[in-house]
Amino acid sequence: MQELKSFLQNDWCTGTGTGNTLHDPSTGEAVATASTAGLDLGAALDYARREGGKRLRAMTFAERGEMLTELSKAIHAHRAELLEISTLNTGTTLKDSKFDIDGATGTLAAYGDIGKELGDRTFLLDGEGMQCGRSPRFHGQHIQVPLRGVAIHINAFNFPAWGFAEKLACSFLAGVPVLTKPATSTCLPSYRVAQIVVESGLCPDGAWSFLAGSVGDLLDHVTSQDVVAFTGSANTARRIRSHEQIIAKSVRVNAEADSLNAMVVGPDMKVGSDTWDLFIRELTREMTQKSGQKCTATRRVFLPEALIESAVEALKDSLAEFPAGSAHDESNRMGPLSVPSQFADVVDVLKQLSAESEIAIGSIPTGNGTPCATIEPIVMVNRDPKNSPLVHDLEAFGPAVTLMPYSGDAIEAGELVALGNGCLVATMYSDDIKFTQDLLLELAPWNGRVLLGSKRIADPSTGPGIVLPSLIHGGPGRAGGGLELGGQRGMNLYMQTCAVQGSRPVIEKILG
């Protein structure tokens, strides 16, 4: 069984003790162990600040972008191996493994292009300069410069490659060194990528650190110049934000947490139309891709009551094409839950939700999820969403969704979506421009992203579950209140905005 190491202070090191055990979700077999016990994490952060930060800041945006481009190529060169490791430790089918690995390399490449566009500079101008007094010579200009700390990236179990890559791309391009701490249970793919990064020799000394195992006392050593970017549960996000050192040093924390993402079907919808087919196709994908274990997966669907039975029948047909089981069996199009121990939690939530809703497709498993923690797709119907608090509060992090009726009014639909208290993404399906406009303005305050599904994008739509590097990823309220990606916007978390005042000729000469 493989013993995973951490890469700290430019060297591989192993923690003491037995640590945590990683499993193959399809078989329950132990595949690796990881421990951080005994590692000096304070010294590791100091080294990254001192050595990695200095070297990254000396590079221009174009040079950092070229580094990201080459890292993307280096990781892609090991694609076949990484796909096998992903299936082994996360229980994903080949297609879903590609979703994670290719998402990682694609995001790194996209930010490589942004670096090329920003060119041979080491800081950014933020907006236009402005006159600050009666004399035009007294001038002001905002600039953005990289922080002098470390970007601590604590990632979720479901995307061991893409999850860290989207954070790393923004941080590296901004000029801030990274310490990546993936979820231990599925960190085998992350570990192999970490090895590839080190073997490539592309990163300056100290710019890249990797922690395999628990977080330990890492947060005890953060400073005001560090950043913590977290993806995972809302409960863990709250614990991070309330950490004594985080509060004492006013450390920046960006959190992307779980959310009850929604779809709304417009009153103009016709069964069998291109827009209807798009709705069914994308909802099926959101339920089955990575066994529904995505932070962007749809959990709640609101549609006119007259369409509920048609939706159930259409989903029966589409979901039947996704048999679930061991990811090592190529006939299965959906694998098990990525972490076997989550099986009991998901089943418990499904049971609670079924107290408010009827099960229209599938059934709640009665076993214990061993050795293969498989849950078949489950569709529930709730006839009274305004008086059913659990469906807007509990998330079964698996292949489950609840269909609910609404009157067809955009304001009512917006109010129902808002009961989830903030989402990463919402999707609407309608070809009615007025309804689309009205609903968009109701959804926008409660969602980080809104997808307008219509016949016009029936073919090119990527669906709500795909996070694009050019658009922001995050959401308000329960979704964590964070913001990642969004092209150049993703660098804001790792840069300090400073207002510069003085003589206009001097400022323009200094800043260019």
Decide if 1 contacts 33 (C-beta within 8 A). yes
Q: What is the pLDDT of residue 1?
A: 80
Q: What is the pLDDT of residue 91?
A: 94
Residues 399, 401: Cα–Cα separation, whole Å: 7
Question: Which of 187, 295, 372, 423 does the annotation list as catalytic?
Answer: 295
What percent of the chain is helix, strand and coil (3-state, nearest 5)? 45, 20, 35
State pTM to two decimals.
0.94
In the beta sheet, which residues pair with residue 59? none
DSSP string, 91-107: ---HHHHHHHHHHHHHH
Give the class (CATH, top level) of 2-123+146-258+482-493. Answer: alpha beta
User: Any idea what DSSP says for residue 48?
Assistant: I
Question: Which of 166, 170, 203, 256 does the annotation list as catalytic?
Answer: 256
Residues 194, 257: Cα–Cα separation, whole Å: 24
User: Any idea what DSSP says for residue 149?
Assistant: S
| Residue at 475: amino acid letter | G
- Residue 39's φ and ψ, nearest 5 degrees, are -80, 140
Range 261-468 has CATH code 3.30.70.640:
no
Rg of the chain, C-alpha, whole Å:
24
- Residue 174's φ and ψ, nearest 5 degrees, are -70, -20
Of 344, 288, 341, 336, nearest in space to 88 by CA: 336
Q: What is the pLDDT of residue 372?
A: 85
pLDDT means over runs of 10, the chain (512 residues): 94 92 93 95 97 97 98 98 96 95 97 97 94 92 98 95 95 98 96 97 97 95 97 92 97 94 98 97 96 96 97 97 93 92 93 96 88 93 97 96 97 98 97 97 97 94 93 95 95 97 94 88
Decide if 282 contacts 453 (C-beta within 8 A). yes
Decide if 80 contacts 37 (C-beta within 8 A). no
Reading the block at residue 387, the tokens are 């008086």
- What string of H, E and C letters represents the secondary structure of 284-309? HHHHHHHHHCCCCCEEEEEEEHHHHH
Residue 295: active-site member = yes
Of 481, 416, 403, nearest in space to 442 by CA: 416
Q: How many CB atoms lie within 10 A of CB 43?
A: 12
Coil/strand/helix, residue 144:
strand
> Ramachandran region of residue 480, left (φ > 0), alpha (ψ -120 to 50) or beta?
left
- Sequence-ordered list of residues with C-beta below 8 angstroms from that of 429, at least 6 positions apart, any chain: 263, 264, 265, 266, 269, 275, 276, 278, 279, 453, 454
State how beta strands 358-361 and 378-381 pair. antiparallel
Domain parsing of the chain, residue ranges: 2-123+146-258+482-493, 261-468
